[in-house]
Amino acid sequence: MSEKPGIDIRPGPEGAMELALTGAWIIGAVLPDLDALLADPKIAGAHRLRLADGGIADWDSILLTYLRRLEGRVAERGATTDRSGLPEGVVRLLALAEAVPRREDTGAPGARPGIVTRAGEAVLRLGAEAAGMVAFLGLAAMAFGKFVLGRARFRGSDLALMLEDCGPKALPIVTLISVLVGLILAFVGAVQLQLFGAEIFIANLVAIGMAREMGALMAAIIMAGRTGAAFAAELGTMQVNEEIDAFVTLGISPMEFLVLPRMIALALMMPLLCLYADLMGILGGAVVGIFMLDISPIQYFNQTKQFLGMGDFAVGVFKAAVFGVLIAISGCMRGMQCGRSSQAVGMAATSAVVLAIVLIICADGVFAVLFHIMGI
């Protein structure tokens, strides 16, 4: 490390005071305090200050920022500075930085607004959000209408690919989660039911719990994280690469070509996944019943069969189809609304999952009340 940066104040030519810079002005060095320097009585009344090289050993950008700050402060006092004594490179770089005047009309975000403003803006955004959602739903409904009339344009091979991705490929994870949920339900119930010696009713608890609620809910949450996020990321990336624009300019509707096959695939596959999840969950419950509570497999099977009606399955399957549509809508909507940057793609995927899960739980709540009132 060479010598410390410093500034000597001395009388210069033509009655100006001269600030002679010495030492190594490099990033990491301790720079002279600007306030102390400007408070120096020798330059307090000076109208012209000459900046000069009094033996600068080394310099980098930190010297430029220091000089800009110094010149700004001097100008505030109504005095002028003269750079002619500085090294040529410094003078040229400073001139380059000033060549294009600072633009004030760039529309850049100014100071962070207060909390009231931000709260207000958030509420306004909520309105815009709702409008965007309604618009998307309308477009999706129109695309679906065209599909029903057989006029929608998309490739069968795309739909097949989506069906495979939403169906068979999701089975391993659905298996794992559903078996575990069945196990957990059985465990939680077992402890309570043992108090009454009513262990056999564990079969009822698991069967009803899985068929009416947990099968559809767990399958939906898995698919929201797995497929909803993938939809948003795929469509978002296509938005970034202008691939969606390319569809629009060729007169191919991205709603029909990209969104429709995804919605159909999820709406068709979710009920099947739900049935599969129901069975896996019941299997998980049976494991607990048989190995922990010493219920015989036949007894468990009979108890389940006797108690569980088709109506219970139907409730779950119906809900699963609705959840499938909700997941597809949130995934595709966030993807289509995605901005044109890689950060926006990440945000689209995240928000697709969050939105899907919120919608699923809300819908489930509405269904619970409705089915209760209808006595199903």
Partner 1 sequence: MSAAEHIEPGEAHIVVSGLDMAYGSFVVQRDLNFTVRRGDVFIIMGDSGCGKSTLLRHLVGLKAPARGSVTINGESLWELDEDAREAAMRRFGLLYQSGALWSSLTLEENIALPLGEYTDLSKAEIAELASLKLSLVGLAGFEDFYPSEISGGMAKRAGLARAIALDPEILFFDEPSAGLDPISSARLDELILELRDSLGATVVVVTHELASIFAIGTNSVFLDAEQRTMVAQGPPKDLLETCTVPKVRTFLRRGAE
Q: Both ends of the chain: CA-CA distance in Å?
A: 83
In the complex, the smallest distance separating the C-beta of residue 251 from partner 1, rounded to whole angstroms, is 4
Q: What residue type is assigned to position 161 of the chain?
A: L
Q: Between 251 and 375, whose beta carbon lies closer to partner 1?
A: 251
Q: Between 235 and 274, whose beta carbon lies closer to partner 1?
A: 235
CB atoms within 10 A of CB 267: 20
In the complex, the smallest distance separating the C-beta of residue 237 from partner 1, rounded to whole angstroms, is 8
In the complex, the smallest distance separating the C-beta of residue 137 from partner 1, rounded to whole angstroms, is 18
Q: Between 78 and 107, whose beta carbon lies closer to partner 1?
A: 107
Q: Between 185 and 232, whose beta carbon lies closer to partner 1?
A: 232
In the complex, the smallest distance separating the C-beta of residue 234 from partner 1, rounded to whole angstroms, is 8
Q: What residue type is assigned to position 112 of the chain?
A: R
Q: Between 107 and 197, whose beta carbon lies closer to partner 1?
A: 107
> Which residue, among 255, 268, 182, 169, has the nearest Cα to 218 in the 3D structure?
182
* Angle between helix 215-223 and 171-195 (nearest 10): 140
Q: Between 60 and 242, whose beta carbon lies closer to partner 1?
A: 242
In the complex, the smallest distance separating the C-beta of residue 154 from partner 1, rounded to whole angstroms, is 10
Q: Between 58 and 243, whose beta carbon lies closer to partner 1?
A: 243
Contact positions toward partner 1, by CB under 8 A?
Answer: 107, 153, 237-238, 241-243, 245-246, 248-253
In the complex, the smallest distance separating the C-beta of residue 152 from partner 1, rounded to whole angstroms, is 12
Looking at the chain, which runs of residues are DSSP E strands? Answer: 6-11, 17-25, 48-59, 80-85
In the complex, the smallest distance separating the C-beta of residue 248 from partner 1, rounded to whole angstroms, is 6
Q: Which residues pair with 118 in a beta bridge?
A: none
* 307: region left, alpha or beta (phi > 0 left; psi from -120 to 50 alpha): alpha
**216 within 8 A of 319, measured Cβ to Cβ:** yes
Under 8 Å CB-to-CB from 319, ≥6 apart: which residues?
A: 216, 217, 274, 363, 364, 367
**337 within 8 A of 236, measured Cβ to Cβ:** no
Q: Which residues pair with 20 in a beta bridge?
A: 8, 52
